[in-house]
Amino acid sequence: MSVQKVAIHGAAGRMGRALILALQPAEDLELVAATESAHSSALGRDSGALAGAGDNGIPIHADLGAAFAQADVVIDFTRPEGLAEALDALEQQPRRLVSGTTGLDPAQQQRLERYAERCAVVQAANFSIGVNLCIRLTELAARALDDSADIEIIELHHRDKVDAPSGTALRLGRAAAAATGRSLEEQAVYSRVGHTGPRPPRAIGFSTVRGGDIVGEHTVLLAAQGEQVEIRHRATSRANFAGGALRAARWLADRDGGLYDMPDVLGLA
């Protein structure tokens, strides 16, 4: 059995720590490096101890080039500026990349897509298998109900999440829009306040809640006359996201280039 060597960028974050824990029992994946940005207060700490897994002898450091050189695949869960740092290093020595960083602007997204022409990338707003099943169900339900139902997406996350709506909420919105021939850019409604008037007939509405330590909850509401359909996913820990990211890393082993999403990994595309 071949073993893939893994570097985690964003190792001190919530998802980074969940990935370190998920890698512990894996026999086909080995953690070889853990990195953070140069300003992180976690630099120098043992990554295993920080994750609550006990010392693993792999300190968190900021030399991305040296870290990625040891790895077969890099897993990135940071912020857009963190992904930019990772791409700076990866463009010098390409490695397969799994990225769950959300909130990219068009230029940042285009840069990632250019990198994927050289080396395979799985980019996903959410690595949960359950969420990706919900995306597929949203496509099916939206296509079946079409203009007979109003589409609203409600998402809840912890107080420290910095982007809104969540990348997963936007991914659900894109799925509903594509299934019904709509443009999310033209028909999304992100806020309502004051005298808004009647709801535009083909709008896709988003509602955002931030508070406490909520891991993540997403609901797609399709409200028709006389009936409502709800598709809901509630995460109770980050272990499911970490497991999905490791599944993506395994799936990338046989791929040289291209930009993929979790439906590709799960055979749902």
Q: Is 157 a catalytic residue?
A: yes
Confidence of residue 237 (pLDDT cuts 50, 70, 90): confident
Residues 263 and 36: beta-carbon distance below 8 Å: no
DSSP conformation letters of 12-75: TSHHHHHHHHHHTT-SSEEEEEEE--TT-TTTTSBHHHHHTS---S-BEES-HHHHHHT-SEEE
Residue 5 bears catalytic tag = no
Q: Which CATH superfamily is domain 129-235 in?
A: Dihydrodipicolinate Reductase; domain 2 (3.30.360.10)
Mean pLDDT of 226-235: 96
Q: What is the pLDDT of residues 101-138, one digit of tens each?
A: 988 999 999 999 999 999 999 999 889 999 999 999 99
- For the chain, give every domain's residue range: 4-119, 129-235
Given pLDDT bands bounded at 50, 70 and 90, which one contains residue 171?
very high
Which pTM does this prediction carry? 0.82
Cβ neighbours, 10 Å, residue 134 = 23
Cα–Cα distance, 122 to 102 (Å, whole number): 13
Q: Tell me the CA distances in angstroms from 131 to 124, 185, 256, one per residue in order.
A: 11, 22, 27
- The catalytic residue among 9, 61, 157, 233 is 157
Give residue 1's pLDDT.
62
Instruction: Say which range, 56-60, 75-79, 225-229, 254-258, has the weakest mean pLDDT.
Output: 254-258
Q: To which residue do tokens 């068009």 refer? A: 106
Count the Cβ atoms, other than its own, within 10 Å of residue 100.
25
Residue 53 has a pLDDT of 87
pLDDT value for 125: 86
Strands of 216-224's sheet in order across: 188-189, 204-210, 149-157, 216-224, 227-235
pLDDT tens string 12-49: 999 999 999 999 999 999 999 999 999 999 999 999 99
DSSP-assigned states of every residue in 96-110: EEEE------HHHHH
- CATH superfamily entry for domain 4-119: NAD(P)-binding Rossmann-like Domain (3.40.50.720)
Gyration radius of the chain's alpha carbons: 19
Q: Which of 5, 61, 158, 161 is catalytic?
A: 161
Give the pLDDT score at 131.
93
What is residue 223's predicted lDDT score, i.e. its pLDDT? 98
**Amino acid making up residue 153:** I
